[in-house]
């Protein structure tokens, strides 16, 4: 299932509620008339959800890595103590 970049952009605009009211109404009509388009929208939503989930997971891992370094490495002892003193 290969779709054009224009179609991808139209679907993105639909998913993120971008564009004019007229454009959104036309796209809604196209969804009613074309069942394959509805399927493409569903697949694109899923892909966007996966990308967002992956990004969040990667960000959490990066934050955890920074946290581990700041609070466990001797080089950052002064910083760690300053932070811990804030919460005493």
Which domain, by its residues, includes 82?
5-86
The number of beta carbons lying within 10 Å of the beta carbon of residue 44 is 17
Q: 32-50: per-residue pLDDT in tens?
A: 999 999 999 999 999 999 9
Q: 6-30: per-residue pLDDT in tens?
A: 999 999 999 999 999 999 999 999 9
Asked whether residue 31 carries a pLDDT value surpassing 80, the answer given is yes
88 band by pLDDT with thresholds 50, 70 and 90:
confident
Task: Say how many domains are in the chain.
Answer: 1
Task: Give CA–CA dist 24/18, Å, rounded.
Answer: 8
């Amino acid at each position: 299932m290969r779709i054009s970049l224009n179609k991808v952009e139209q679907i993105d605009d639909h998913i993120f509620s971008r564009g004019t009211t007229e454009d959104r109404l036309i796209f809604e009509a196209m969804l009613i008339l074309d069942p394959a388009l509805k399927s493409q929208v569903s697949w694109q939503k899923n892909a966007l959800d996966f990308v967002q989930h992956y990004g969040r997971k990667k960000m959490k891992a990066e934050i955890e890595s920074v946290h581990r370094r700041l609070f466990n490495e001797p080089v950052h002892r002064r910083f760690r103590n300053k932070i811990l003193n804030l919460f005493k």
